Amino acid sequence: MTYCILNYRLPGAAWSLEFSETAIGTLLGHVQRSRSSKESVGQLFTRDLTANPVVAEIATVLTPTRAAWARVTFSTDRARSERESLFRGGLHCVGFWHTHPEPWPTPSAEDRRLAREHALAAQPQLAGIVFVIVGTAPPPTGVRVWVDDGIDLHEALSEDSCTVLAE
């Protein structure tokens, strides 16, 4: 499997987002490669919210309450508990990720609602929440990133092509 470091920038923002090799490994390890695969979901964590780039060091995997080929739900209580536990270890949650069974994923109405709810809940601690959807195409085109600021869902653009770290 190819692992890479991916960088994204929100147009007009002073910061960028980078995914560590570890985080990318987790995301790419859950790509829906067959019709029988189910969506996966998790959270993204960083040690430093003020760095540029903000590095998504860890991508966790939440146990879904329901998972199907084109839908996944999770317990918000479990997600909160995970955030609290990792915060005690110095990690801050910057957002969520999940998979889609399409090459170039786009957020559904339910995805947009979820991103907005979490963005509003994170205010005033965060200016926005990162929302990642991992599709079936190889990175960077198959990994799409948005930031919801509580008003709009803004797409972050890949800054360059995928830099291969290992095969």
pLDDT in tens, 147-164: 999 999 999 999 865 655
Which of residues 124 and 139 earns the better pLDDT score?
139
SS3 69: coil
Which pLDDT score, from 0 to 100, does residue 5 have? Answer: 74
Are 49 and 92 a contacting pair, CB within 8 Å?
yes
What value does the mean pLDDT take over residues 70-74? 94
Q: How far apart are CA 69 and CA 122, in angstroms?
A: 29
Note the CATH architecture for domain 3-166: 3-Layer(aba) Sandwich (3.40)
DSSP state of 91: -
| pLDDT given at position 127 | 80
Q: What is the pLDDT of residues 30-61, one digit of tens each?
A: 999 999 999 999 999 999 999 999 999 999 99
* Mean pLDDT over each residue of the chain, to the nearest integer: 91
pTM of the model: 0.92
Q: Where do the structural domains in the chain lie, given as residue ranges?
A: 3-166
Partners of 166 in the beta sheet?
3
